Amino acid sequence: MRIISSAEIAAALSYPALVDALADAFRSDVTVPLRHHHPIPQAAGVPEAMLLLMPAWTPPGDGAFVGTKLVSVYPGNGAKGLPSIYGSYVLCNGETGAPLAILDGTMLTVWRTACASALASRYLSRPDASHMVMVGAGALAPHLIRAHAAIRPIRHVTLWNRSREKANALAEGLGRTVPGVSIAVAGDLQAAVEEADIVTCATISSSPIVSGDWLKPGAHLDLVGGYTPAMREADDAAVTRASLFVDTRTGGLKEAGDIVDPIRRGLIGEADVKADLFDLTRGIHPGRGSAEEITLFKSVGTALEDLAAAMLVWRSLPV
């Protein structure tokens, strides 16, 4: 069994190739059971931990795969100077069940998450989109910028983060790795969003950061960070003003606060979600309908994306 490091994953993948691999996966018959959530009690005064299991497998036959992502979430790790989330991905032969590799789950996740947003952008953003606003400066941010730039002619990126110091650090790093794209740090988020063709949010905010009133006609809003029903990155105006899309209906209608909360309060209904990535990639829904349409894509992630990324890594590595 092979151990595949984060560096090997980064060397094996490219954003265009992974976007295409994700599109193929959403068009295929990959089986994706419900995500398993298992609470793990901790000592008194320490937040409860969680074990997440995300399995998926391809149809039987030659070249079949089975994969499972194992994620441990320990919120109390911050007090110990440790990351709160660890992840590993186990890839197995789909014909025999024999383990093939263990991949760095954190690196795999940021790549597949960013490329899922880029895949949605292929259908939902304007083809001439050139100005992107990145809200958040965490580990996902540089991948989201590079992935969107692989799909659309992005020429200018404006960064915004609650900590301007982190935004400045991200800008400095991106300036060396994203050629042909100007990078700026915004002090006024509203002014930046009002000029943006694509607005991407990757935060852990529990209250809205971006207002729908700021979005110009034709804008595309990409919401990545919120992963529970209690989290919001965009306000009600964004949700009611935009055409709504999700990565999967299963996840988007149960786990995405930006969708679940407005439904619960009667502002929108489930039918207002026009399509998911299955519908878009299979041509069931065409995506953006006009140059002036405002679109919103909410991603919560799916094991299908992890499996597609792991398969691409495995097939790209030298024998």
Q: What is the pLDDT of residues 277-289, one digit of tens each?
A: 999 999 999 999 9
Q: What is the pLDDT of residues 72-103, one digit of tens each?
A: 988 888 788 888 888 999 999 999 999 999 99
Reply yes or no on whether the pLDDT at 176 is more than 80: no
Confidence (pLDDT) at 74: 86
Q: Which neighbouring-strand residues pair with 158?
A: 133, 184
Q: Is the pTM of this model over 0.85?
A: yes
Pairing state between β 36-40 and 49-57? antiparallel
What distance in Å separates the CA atoms of residue 103 and residue 47, rounded to the nearest whole number?
A: 28
What distance in Å separates the CA atoms of residue 275 and residue 284, rounded to the nearest whole number?
A: 8
Pairing state between β 198-201 and 295-298? unpaired
Q: How confident is the model at residue 156 (pLDDT cuts 50, 70, 90)?
A: very high
CATH number of 2-108+305-316: 3.30.1780.10
Average pLDDT, the chain: 94
Q: Dig out the tokens for 8 from the structure.
A: 């090997």
Confidence (pLDDT) at 82: 84
Name the least confident of 7-11, 164-168, 242-246, 295-299: 164-168
Reply yes or no on whether the pLDDT at 175 is more than 80: no
The superfamily in CATH containing domain 116-302 is NAD(P)-binding Rossmann-like Domain (3.40.50.720)
Reply yes or no on whether the pLDDT at 235 is more than 80: yes
Alpha helix (H) residue ranges in the chain: 6-12, 15-27, 105-124, 140-151, 164-177, 189-194, 236-241, 249-252, 257-264, 277-281, 303-316
Q: Where are the domains of the chain?
A: 2-108+305-316, 116-302
